[in-house]
Structure 1
Amino acid sequence: MQIQIKAHFNKQTKDSKKEQVQFYVTGEDEKRPELNQLTREVVILQIEGLDGVELTAEFKKCSKDSKKTVLEFEVKGDSSAAQTFEFYKMAGSDVLLSITESQMDIDEFREQQEQYREGVRGKINQDGTVDVVDDENQLTIDEVAASEEADGDGPPMPDNEDDLPF
């Protein structure tokens, strides 16, 4: 199922746990029954004029009051930064929004969100220090320092404290 509605792109927010987009719908489009059918589903969002830019999101909720209908979507974590930036540039304007039902079910979406948000594994000790579980993809501080020395990034370090600027 795919629907197109005229909406006001109210806001796009992102924090460490999730990214959300919110649209206001007014007029005849807010009475469309398809909006209620797609709620709590994984959908693909597209804005007319942004060719090839689409976001996969969970349609979190559709709430109505006397003036407008608010559509809230939680964006899939691995959406490219370029695509979310293109959407962000449209925030605050009226858009023609296409909402397409995705082939992905909600359980797959949430599982991918958890995998995307997975952080560094470790244990916090009583004294406040942290023991991090080794990961073959994680660099050590010594490896980072060695690569910076090899790259020659930054100015050379002074030989003694007298050469410091302050």
Structure 2
Amino acid sequence: MQLTVKAHFNKQTKDSRKELIQFYVKGEDEKKPEINHLTREVVELEIEGVEQKLTCEFSKSSKDSKKTVLDFVVKGDTSADQSFNFYKMAGSDVTLNIVESQMSIDEFYGEDHEGIEYSVDDKGSVNVPDNQLSMDTLDEVAASTEEELD
């Protein structure tokens, strides 16, 4: 699901535990039912004209007589250079694209786990850091798996 709204990028705050961003939606866009459907989901936020995307939990939306407030918790491993141009837009009116992520809430808040670290670039290519896995390691894993099966 995808949602596009005209909003005011109200604020961005960060403390030792989490990073929050808040938008005010006014006018016809605040009546869109998709806002409620995406609340409590992991989403990708984009601001029109900014290359960076942020992975966030759409933590809540609240409505009063003047505006609808959208609050997001930013994924903890977002780097400063990744979000710099995004946060430069704070205090201005923006066109906000909210796209439902395939990541679950458990994955979003998940602890470190065993496995291979990797990243996926914009073209869909997977990048694995050097010295994380070798052919020798793969051979050892395959051999131990075969022994367990025997």
Q: TM-score range by the shorter chain?
A: 0.7 to 0.9
AA aligned to 1:98 is N
Please state whether the residue corresponding to 1:87 is helix, strand or coil.
helix
Partner residue, 1:140 = none
Q: Which runs of 5+ in 2 are unaligned?
A: 113-150
Q: Equivalents in 2 of 1:87, 1:61: separation in Å?
A: 20
Q: Equivalents in 2 of 1:82, 1:48: separation in Å?
A: 18
**Do structure 1's residue 61 and structure 2's residue 36 form an aligned pair?**
no
Partner residue, 2:46 = 46
Q: Equivalents in 2 of 1:97, 1:63: separation in Å?
A: 17
Deviations 1:53-88 (A, max 9, x none): 000000000000000000000000111211222121
Q: Equivalents in 2 of 1:105, 1:59: separation in Å?
A: 12
Q: What is the aligned length? A: 112
Tell me how far 1:46 sits from its aligned partner.
0.3
Partner residue, 1:147 = none
Partner residue, 1:86 = 85
Q: Equivalents in 2 of 1:35, 1:69: separation in Å?
A: 10
**Do structure 1's residue 3 and structure 2's residue 9 form an aligned pair?**
no
Q: Equivalents in 1 of 2:82, 2:33: separation in Å?
A: 29
Please state whether the residue corresponding to 1:78 is helix, strand or coil.
coil
Q: Equivalents in 2 of 1:31, 1:25: separation in Å?
A: 9
**Do structure 1's residue 108 and structure 2's residue 107 form an aligned pair?**
yes
AA aligned to 2:92 is S
Q: Equivalents in 2 of 1:31, 1:108: separation in Å?
A: 30
Deviations 1:105-164 (A, max 9, x none): 11111115xx5xxxxxxxxxxxxxxxxxxxxxxxxxxxxxxxxxxxxxxxxxxxxxxxxx
Query: What is the correspondence of 1:8-157 to structure 2 with a 5 Å cutoff?
Result: 8-51=8-51, 53-112=52-111, 115=112
Q: Equivalents in 2 of 1:7, 1:80: separation in Å?
A: 24
4+ runs of 1 displaced by more than 4 Å?
A: none
TM-score after normalising by structure 1:
0.66
TM-score after normalising by structure 2:
0.73
CA RMSD of aligned residues (A): 0.9
Q: Which runs of 5+ in 1 are unaligned?
A: 116-166
Q: Equivalents in 1 of 2:23, 2:49: separation in Å?
A: 17
